[in-house]
Amino acid sequence: MKGFCLEVWGDYACFTRPEMKVERVSYDVITPSAARAIFEAILWKPAIRWQVDKIEILKPIKWTNVRRNEVGKVASPRNKESIFIEDERQQRAALILKDVAYRLHAHFEMTDKKGSEDTEAKFAAMFERRAENGQCFHRPYFGTREFAVDFKLVQPDQSQPKAISEDRDLGWMVYDIRHDNSKDESHVHSCTDKCSPRIYRPVMKQGIILVPDWKSEEVRG
Amino acid sequence: MSSVANRYDFVLLFDVKDGNPNGDPDAGNMPRVDAETGMGLVTDVCLKRKVRNFVQMIKEGKKPFDIFIKEKAILNNLIDQAHEQEKVKIKEKGSEKTEEARKWMCENFFDIRTFGAVMSTGKNAGQVRGPVQLTFGRSIERVVTSEHSITRMAVATVAESEKQSGDNRTMGRKFTIPYGLYLSHGFISAPLAKQTGFSEEDLKLLWDALKTMFDHDRSAARGLMGTRKLIVFKHGSEFGNAPAQNLFDLVKVERATDPAKPAREFTDYKVTLEKAKVPQGVELLEML
């Protein structure tokens, strides 16, 4: 299985902890789900599924805080009363990461949606070409769209800066959401009760997190 | 009209003089500052609000350029409106109906086509990811916040007046930045434009908004704000022809005057653009 490596960096990141979503608090590091989405922003087809293998943390984990005006929308079909933005304004703080850089290692697997023309070599070449030229389907981001990601493809033989020399037990983290896409033929997905989170307990050793396969025992849900 | 077929990356430079470009609710409405570096910040949502207000003003809220997240808007009435459309009504409940409602919202609201929206309020109208993505604006140099005390020759309540035995004066505070030049990055994804129907006409409107939105956002708090440069990189293809960071590196903003002295004018800065280094397949458009 051919692996790919991307170096990604940005000024800020917010990988929101699901238990702290109102006033958002980020995880210490990127989740496999957010890392997968970065690869998908460059190339994704129904025929492939990205699996993140390893995350290298290249910069010390630093935090900052930002409070913004947001819209609180509380609505039910029965409640026809007006919602005025000014009245529904909520000021929410977010505890986010600052000055972030990772090296992400991943590979893809073919799914049962692959057509007769689809080969691994074809998608591998497509991904490499796009990543090499800075092309993307949409601009990848660190958790939320205002925190845009710069990326570059790393070739296996290139010498690389080392990951940070820090060990940390990161606790239980979201691994990914298992989405129920059965009703979303056009890929416009709104999560339903059938979508469920998967969690895992990563340990960062010398700045490196080894990400288990999504089917492995370490990933629970 | 056909949707935008090229990827764009852009650099927006705007400045403020004796004003507060974006107050921080956590700091008593003082201008947002990166506490570690002293650089000023303006959030992405602050800029998007101005784009929305500009389009609402220019197009007078007329469809297909209506604005969904209006000031004084009624979100659920608009979602209900989508569900009252004939072609939405005839659909069965479930994802197909949601999809029709989503389409109707995209067709009618400029900000949904542009920035996207979560429309799972009330009657579900699905979720839309817009093609246009903005980052925080960040000042080129450190900004200094000045606090000014101001007085008002009136009071709000009778009780206050009585306490002052008719003197009737109150004091307030106001924060300004003497001068700050801010830079924000933006991205437009052609494949997402296709999904929401973000058209060439919408794109033109977006450029107009970015160029002149501050001219229509005058207020006591803002001081003198204006867009100084809008530098757009148009890629020859939908996925793009060069990494965004390489293009952004071609735009350099430096001090034209002695960096030891504080900047107070746009002319204290020099913006250079390495036109010769623009890679093949990328067209440079200096919008402003």
Q: Above 80 in pLDDT, residue B80?
A: no
Q: Above 70 in pLDDT, residue A113?
A: yes
The residue-averaged pLDDT of B28-32 equals 93
pLDDT at A188: 57
Q: Would you say B184 and B135 are in contact if contact means Cβ atoms under 8 Å apart?
A: yes
pLDDT at A49: 94
The residue-averaged pLDDT of B85-104 equals 68
Tens of pLDDT, residues B234-256:
999 999 999 999 999 999 999 99
Chain B residues with CB under 8 Å of A139 CB are 133, 187, 189, 244
pLDDT at B126: 61
Which positions 152-171 of A are in contact with B (Cβ < 8 Å)? 152
User: Counting Cβ atoms within 10 Å, is residue B76 exposed (0-12), middle (13-18) or buried (19+)?
Assistant: buried
Question: Can you tell me the distance from the alpha carbon of B262 to that of B259, in angstroms, rounded to the nearest whole number?
Answer: 7
Question: Can you tell me the distance from the alpha carbon of A108 to that of A105, in angstroms, rounded to the nearest whole number?
Answer: 11
Please report, for residues B35, B154, B218, B249, the alpha-carbon distance to residue B221 in angstroms, rounded to integers and kept in the order given.
Answer: 22, 20, 8, 33
Which positions 176-205 of A are in contact with B (Cβ < 8 Å)? 183-186, 188-190
Question: Can you tell me the distance from the alpha carbon of B58 to that of A184, in angstroms, rounded to the nearest whole number?
Answer: 36
Q: Where in chain A are the domains? A: 4-210
Measure CB to CB from residue A190 to each of B80, B120, B246 and give the nearest one. B120
pLDDT at B38: 93
- Who has greater pLDDT, B243 or A184? B243
Interface test with B, best of A14, A64, A73 (most B CBs within 10 A): A73
pLDDT at B124: 55
- Please give the interface size between A and B, counted as residue pairs whose CB atoms are below 8 Å apart: 136
Q: Would you say B112 and B133 are in contact if contact means Cβ atoms under 8 Å apart?
A: no
* Average pLDDT of chain B, as a whole number: 89
Q: Above 50 in pLDDT, residue A130?
A: yes
Measure CB to CB from residue B239 to each of A67, A130, A183 and give the nearest one. A130
Chain A residues with CB under 8 Å of B98 CB are 188, 190
Please give the model's pTM, rounded to 2 decimal places: 0.82
| CB-based contact A75 B244, cutoff 8 Å | no
| CB-based contact B73 A84, cutoff 8 Å | yes
Tens of pLDDT, residues B117-137:
877 544 555 678 899 999 999
| CB-based contact A135 B185, cutoff 8 Å | no
| CB-based contact A134 B70, cutoff 8 Å | no
Q: Is B189 on the interface with A (CB under 8 A)?
A: yes
- Who has greater pLDDT, A10 or B80? A10
Out of A45-59, A86-100, A153-167, A182-196, pick the least confident.
A182-196
Out of A73-82, B55-64, B104-113, pick the least confident.
A73-82
Q: How many CB atoms lie within 10 A of CB A179?
A: 13
pLDDT at B18: 97
Q: Where in chain B are the domains? A: 8-286
Q: Above 60 in pLDDT, residue A84?
A: no
The chain B residue lying nearest A153, using CA atoms, is B243
* B75–chain A nearest CA distance, Å: 6
**CA A27 from chain center: how many Å?**
12
The residue-averaged pLDDT of B202-213 equals 97
Residue with token string 């087809």: A45
Q: Would you say B109 and B91 are in contact if contact means Cβ atoms under 8 Å apart?
A: no
pLDDT at B92: 57
Q: Above 60 in pLDDT, residue B44?
A: yes
Which residues, other chains included, contact A93 with Cβ-Cβ below 8 Å and sequence gap of 6+? A23, A24, A65, A66, A67, B26
Q: Give B165's pLDDT tier (boundaries 50, 70, 90).
A: confident
Measure CB to CB from residue B74 to each of A66, A84, A135 and give the nearest one. A84
Q: Give B170's pLDDT tier (boundaries 50, 70, 90).
A: confident
The residue-averaged pLDDT of A36-51 equals 95
* β-strands B224-235, B8-19 pairing: antiparallel
pLDDT at A186: 55
On whether the A4-210 domain is CATH 2.30.40.10, my answer is no
| CB-based contact B45 A68, cutoff 8 Å | yes
pLDDT at A87: 64
| CB-based contact B95 A185, cutoff 8 Å | yes
The residue-averaged pLDDT of B88-102 equals 66
